């Protein structure tokens, strides 16, 4: 869900710096909304990495949607990798505040459905944007793809 919400926000703000700020804020908000965690960390990792790779392939690695997706998902790296924990506490604020991450609420299945729809929309918009750019280039005089 973090990858998809970060991507959607990044596409909307259309700024890399804005995508980072909004992505991190959305991560905290996503942690605050009561939800079921996906049982398989491996599945969650593969879905997140696949989403980021798809965004990078379609929109480019530095597109605000890709940057927003990475920024929103990045705080969860500390759940997977053993990072330094000053004072024994996790690094990202919403991970260290007791009671901030609440179970229950939105089911894992519903989250996957919403994430798929958001990510699909951002990817589709990127494909449409690429097709429009190719079409404009093909219409330019002297273009190697221009039909005469």
pLDDT given at position 109: 96
Q: Which two tokens stand for residue 135?
A: 């079409």
Its pTM stands at 0.87
Q: Which two tokens stand for residue 36?
A: 């079921």
119, 45, 43, 92 alpha-carbon torsion, rounded to 10°: -90
Interatomic CA distance for residues 105 and 51, integer angstroms: 24
Per-residue pLDDT of 21-62, as tens digits, reads 999 999 999 999 999 999 999 999 999 999 999 999 999 999
Q: State how far the alpha carbon of 121 is from the alpha carbons of 14, 51, 88, 137, in Å.
A: 15, 12, 40, 24
């Amino acid at each position: 869900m973090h990858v998809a919400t970060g991507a959607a926000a990044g596409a909307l703000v259309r700024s890399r710096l804005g995508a980072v700020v909004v992505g991190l804020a959305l991560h905290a908000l996503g942690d605050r909304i009561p939800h079921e965690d996906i049982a398989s960390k491996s599945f969650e990792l593969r879905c997140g990495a696949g989403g980021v790779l798809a965004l990078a392939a379609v929109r480019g690695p530095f597109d605000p949607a890709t940057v927003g997706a990475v920024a929103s998902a990045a705080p969860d790296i500390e759940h997977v990798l053993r990072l330094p924990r000053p004072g024994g506490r996790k690094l990202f604020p919403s991970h260290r505040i007791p009671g901030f991450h609440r179970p229950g609420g939105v089911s894992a299945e519903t989250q996957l459905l919403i994430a798929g729809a958001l990510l699909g929309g951002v990817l589709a918009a990127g494909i449409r944007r690429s097709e429009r750019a190719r079409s404009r280039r093909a219409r330019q005089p002297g273009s190697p793809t221009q039909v005469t």
